[in-house]
Amino acid sequence: MVNSDVVVVGAGIAGLICAQRLRQMGHRVIVVEKSRGLGGRLATRRLSSGHADHGVRCLEVQGALTQGLIDRLCKCQILQPWVDRIHTFDRSGILHLDDSPQPRFTSATGITSVAKFLGTGLEIWHGQRVKGITATAQQTWDLTLEPTGAPSASRLTANALVITIPAPQALALLEPLLHQGLAPDRVAMVRSVKFSPCITSIAAYSAVQQPIATSLPWRAVTFLDDPDLDWVAIDSSKRPDAPCPTVIVQSTARFAKEHLETSDLQRVGQQLLERATVLASWLAAPEVLQVHRWRYAFATQPLPVDCVVADYPLPILCGGDWCGGGDRENGDFDQKHAKFDTRGLRIESALRSGLSAAEQLGMKFQGISLEAASQAVSLSNLKVGAMLAETIDQI
């Protein structure tokens, strides 16, 4: 059994920035992540011809936190500018270029490079799923782990717990704690969060197609009121030395819900490519096709708070990009087709949620109750921006 001050469940943006902040406060922090990589939906798929970003498409400024992160990553040459304008394919089949520029940033080595930067110096246990949580008589959290990759310790204890996985997965860990005194209203808050899915086709093409791909008038296209397609991008355009075209096609939530439980994802992925031929006929004939199912792609009903906090029976906080609630309040949510555009506040919310959780837990370790800490922590944009700058400057 291994003991830690804090265990963070989930190595997405919120979990990583929270763990960094707590580590820099002097606490021992262990991040438990079920997959082999980092970043959650900051995901890059490796291909024989290179790689492709099949989750988060790119980074763009959504507020003070994303601005600070992008500035620092550009300075470190981890991020580079990609496009200032993207196209929209409207319901009449016409492509329109964005009227106003909105710089988008990517990494030549894949968007997961952002997560690798945020994970620098952290103790991360990969390939470990948290199967259960129990509060012990010794006033610690006891976590039972189930290896999804390389075996490691099957038990882990901590004085405090931060859960930053998608809300439905967090709920499965929280509900058994109700009989140990976890406040029902906190569990109800997590239960109220709703997500929509997405299916992503990752397609690689022959090098013969590279001149054709580079001559296209668009690099990325969003679809307006399409029942199936949400996004198509020449992902290889993020890398000037790419030997052949790689294309990402992402579905609407409506399409994903219809096909989410299918046993033949290849067929569904091919269907998306065939729909994308409205942009270029050769998209239907890849040399390689991989398909990824994002069950929890977009928080369609997020919480209005930065994180969910409970102080009994032991400190436990929950957060992620499903906190903050900015998307619906800013009108980015399209109820008819259940999707978010790329101007949503997901990454901004994730950073804010992780920093807020760390700040409140830091106060708890100084002897302040989480209830008092939650009331005391009022993170203005200026303050939270300074916290992020201080945190990433020490990475």
Question: Can you give the pTM of this predicted structure?
Answer: 0.93
d(CA 285, CA 368): 61
Q: Reduce the DSSP state of residue 340 to 3 states and report it.
A: strand
Identify the domain containing residue 121 by its residue range: 2-393
- Rg of the chain on CA atoms, in Å: 21
For residue 162, the model assigns a pLDDT of: 98
d(CA 318, CA 6): 13
Give just the sign of the alpha carbon dihedral 357, 358, 363, 368.
Answer: positive
The bridge status of strand 155-163 relative to strand 316-318 is parallel
d(CA 134, CA 176): 9
d(CA 57, CA 43): 9
How high does pLDDT run on average in the chain?
92
Question: Do residues 255 and 339 make contact, with C-beta atoms less than 8 angstroms apart?
Answer: no
CA distances from 230 to 29, 51, 340 (A): 38, 21, 9
Higher pLDDT, 375 or 20: 20
Q: What are 143-178's pLDDT values in tens digits?
A: 999 998 766 668 899 999 999 999 999 999 999 999
Q: What is the CATH number of the domain that holds 75?
A: 3.50.50.60
d(CA 299, CA 321): 7
Question: Do residues 146 and 155 make contact, with C-beta atoms less than 8 angstroms apart?
Answer: no
For residue 379, the model assigns a pLDDT of: 66
Interacting residues of 329 by C-beta distance below 8 A, sequence separation 6+: none
Whether cis (ω within 30° of 0) applies to the bond prior to 151 is no
Q: What are 318-365's pLDDT values in tens digits?
A: 999 999 864 433 334 343 333 433 334 699 999 999 999 999 999 999
DSSP for 224-274, written as a single string: SS-SSEEEEEEGGGGSTT-SS-EEEEEE-HHHHHHHTT-S-HHHHHHHHHH
Count up the domains in the chain and report the number. 1
**Is pLDDT at 268 greater than 80 in this prediction?**
yes
For residue 337, the model assigns a pLDDT of: 36
Q: Reduce the DSSP state of residue 23 to 3 states and report it.
A: helix
| Average pLDDT for 73-81 | 97
Q: 150-168 burial string, b = 16+ CB within 10 Å, else e?
A: eeeeeebbbbbbbbbbbbe
Interacting residues of 28 by C-beta distance below 8 A, sequence separation 6+: 4, 5, 6, 123
